[in-house]
Amino acid sequence: MSVGRTRPVSPAAWILGPAAAAFGASLLLATPLQVAGLRLPEPVFAFVPAFAWALGRPSMSAPLALVILGVALDFLWHTPTGFWAMCLLVVYALTFFSRRMLAGQEVWALWGAYGVSCAGAMLVGFALTAFRAGIAPSLVGVALQLAVSVALFPFAWRLIERYEATAPGF
């Protein structure tokens, strides 16, 4: 292979691998284990590929994968079908539409954009839950889930960096 050419990225490596990893990590932390009377945190690992796919290499298969991943999370966490799919698509859409502005930014700016995207998704989830249940969920619980989800940005950064050279226009 010549020096100027980049290696092609298969859809399995770019879509299926991160989706499976996100679901597997969610499944692992969904175990009913308590340490010192506290449950394990439940970050939304699927925010990582949703952000990375929109920023690094948007495609038609990414939103479909997010819907499938979201429905799988709905079954895992016993939420109404489509709840997490909608939240994941919010992350994807917010990132996708700010993609040009984010291109070439420093890591800290991307981390901030990731946090804003995650907060937008959590806000939609909060509103959907409040509307459906007729009562607002715990703000502390939502804030903690958002905080641990935003702390996952290094995984999104690693995914972006891994495929940055092969992403057209990035």
Tens-digit pLDDT profile for residues 34-76: 777 777 778 999 999 999 999 987 788 999 999 999 999 999 9
- For residue 137, being part of any structural domain is answered with yes
- For residue 6, being part of any structural domain is answered with no
Structural domain tally of the chain? 1
C-alpha triplet 77, 79, 81: angle, nearest 5°: 120
Rounded Cα gap, residues 94 and 85, in angstroms: 14
- For residue 125, being part of any structural domain is answered with yes
- pLDDT the model gives residue 118: 97
- For residue 69, being part of any structural domain is answered with yes
Angle between the N-to-C axes of helices 107-133 and 139-150, in degrees from 0 to 180, rounded to the nearest 10: 150
Distances in Å between the alpha carbon of 61 and those of 51, 53, 142, 169?
Answer: 14, 10, 29, 18
When the pLDDT of each residue in the chain is averaged and rounded to a whole number, the result is: 88
Residue 2 has pLDDT above 50, yes or no: no
- pLDDT the model gives residue 59: 82
- For residue 18, being part of any structural domain is answered with yes
- pLDDT the model gives residue 129: 95
Cβ proximity of 112 and 7 under 8 Å: no
- For residue 157, being part of any structural domain is answered with yes
Q: Tokens 């308590």, residue?
A: 34
- For residue 5, being part of any structural domain is answered with no
Q: Which amino acid appears at position 99 of this protein?
A: R
**118 or 57, which is more confident:** 118
State the residue range of the domain holding 136: 11-30+42-166
The pTM score is 0.87
- For residue 1, being part of any structural domain is answered with no
